[in-house]
Structure 1
Amino acid sequence: MSAALVARALLSGLTTTEPLGSWSAPGRANLIGEHTDYNDGFVLPFAIDRRTHVALAPRADGVIRVASTFAAEPVQLPLASLTGPFPTDEVPEWAAYPLGVAWALIAASGADAASLTGVDIAIASDVPVGAGLSSSAAIEGATAAALNDTWGLGLDPVALAQVGRTAENDAVGAPTGIMDQMASMLGRADAAIFLDCRSLDATVIDLGFAEAGLELLVIDSGVQHAHSTGGYRERREACDRGAQLMGVAALRDLSAEDLPRARGVMDDVTFRRVRHVVTEDQRVLDTVQTLREQGPAAIGDLLLASHASMRDDFEISVPELDTAVEAAMGAGAIGARMTGGGFGGAAIALVPHDRVETVKDAATAAFAASGFRAPTLFTVTPSEGAGRDA
């Protein structure tokens, strides 16, 4: 059964009230630009054809209730309780994503919570959780789109992306940037979103994978990660420390020419964190230029350089992801890199169509030889962003 039908069935188990509609939002793969978003830098993600679906029905009692295939029991709160600080102690983490969106929407729109329609929301998804494909932004985007329409708030997609980031930062407690939410809201078929995370200017960049005979293969390591815990936060703190030592507002304001001075004013670990962000920003710009001038078959070396930087300077890769990249390249991929926040999740490989099965077999064999559990492998297609389906 599709995730859309699962959400509908889950809603029918909650209420006999007729649904108002169904909405969905995609996960995302980041082609390049990792940990640059919260440093006001550049990213190049695209929405994927794996989506989170929301079915919604109205209530008459001013309560918001959320149910999900992720949890056995629904969670509910009075909408009136979402007008002050988010009630973190009353909400399990999975429910903080959709309820955090409702909370952030009320604040962003200036709506009177007492005047809003109560709702039942059912959530189902086929975006893998913990794979670095932003299942969280898909939940946020689908919920935001549904509530924005239902409550008639009139927020545009960029504002809804900002709502999703607020929910993830302040309700869930994960110190992420805005890349995932922007990709999920603004995605386009066969295109990536070139995003300036400082100005939030977004440009659609044609990818041309199909025309070039290429596919984007996801190699999900099965190693789970959680951005609300230590490693991600430590990396962000190192970046903030590096910017402060260099006297700039954000690492976006540095270039490769500043790195010799940076090496002289900070410890080795902080320097390597800074070097990753500075060089990764430039790799994003170089990838956009290469796609425009030469096409996707020419970006392989940039993907590999990005992975090496995340492995060696930012230290967010894991042996499974390194194995995935090495196996993919040995079997004929044009380029490969880990994607997402790191400490687990997935790698992506850009692969000629006639080599996809060979790369899959090589990755599976390499994982088995290393004693890792078998990876999950699937191709993804750049797809449309969040919206109403029915």
Structure 2
Amino acid sequence: MTPRSDHTHAATLKRLEKASGELAAAAIARMDEQLPWYRAMPPEHRSWIGLVAQAGIAAFTEWFRHPGTPQAISTDVFGTAPRELTRAITLRQTVEMVRTTIEVMETAIDDVAAPGEERVLREALLVYAREIAFATAQVYAQAAEARGAWDARLESLVVNAVLSGEADEGALSRAAALGWSSPDHVCVILGTAPDGDSELTVEAIRRAARHAKLQVLTGVLGDRLIVVAGGSPDPLKAAKSLIGPFARGPVVAGPVVGDLLAANSSAQAAVAGLKACGAWQDAPRPVLADDLLPERAIAGDPAAREQLVEEIYRPLEEAGSALLETLSVYLEQASSLEGAARMLFVHPNTVRYRLRRVTDVTGWSPSDVRSAFTLRIALILGRLTEAEPRS
């Protein structure tokens, strides 16, 4: 049974107080002998552990004096340096430290207890060991909660910086603190956030990312779920791997960029694509922001307009007027080879050859309905651009 009053076991208490220093020294010596990780630690960390071991033995002495007060154990033992302790050593290592200290105290019971009170001291130590185990779990749980809340705020800052175009070396430093190892391929994926706890959504994204071997920085901003994904050169493949936690509705993947500092361009493309996605009713899910270039251009996205002109119209213009003329006539003739050939006074095979050249130059096939629409918008924008200096 445990002690029932402050004075019942005064002799044992007195001997315990006297032996506290020796017990702490013996516990430290046994850790040094049996725990390799303790020996490998820098002196500062070992001193923290020594303080905690001494505090643990002192707390047991006080608890033995006033039994039934377990609520003070966490403060008495871990109050010396709780934050430093949880950062310096893992929970497993802390358990090993506590076990070693308890074992040292247990082996000394016969020497410390007054004659006839060995069983009382042993039972008290068992109860104290249970309480110290709970206290250890509580300290690490609180540290984990605080660290998780801090990490969430830090991650939100990084994601906001990417979206706003304010990502700098400070954002890189914060991302590195979250485990981001600066992968070569980065893209931003955007969609609607599901209802409910945003923390559960973020954790679901992280699980999907671990399964797909991707690095992610993610957050819920308003009704949007934003994911900065790194490690895949294929943005569509990355989006498909992470699409599960998104709510119903369009999910848009921005183009791949080289690093986190350049991710704003991917984010802006994804934002513009999400706004314009409603104009393409049959859009796949997920969809690339680059596949939404015509809708984005019509919606007023200047980056999409410039991209269509620079990646389609300019290369065709540089390839010779025949390609531009043939493509324009072909599209005007409802994609009819024969009709275009008659209008151009050439053989249909010539039209067919020039259209293949259009595909080679731009990457878009005039014979595909969706590609033809994109090419038509690019031609219109290119002509408008050509007309601007003269207007």
TM-score range, shorter chain: under 0.3
Normalized per residue, the structure richer in helix is 2
- Bigger relative contact order (CA 8 A; separation at least 6): 1
Normalized per residue, the structure richer in strand is 1
TM-score where L is the length of structure 2: 0.25
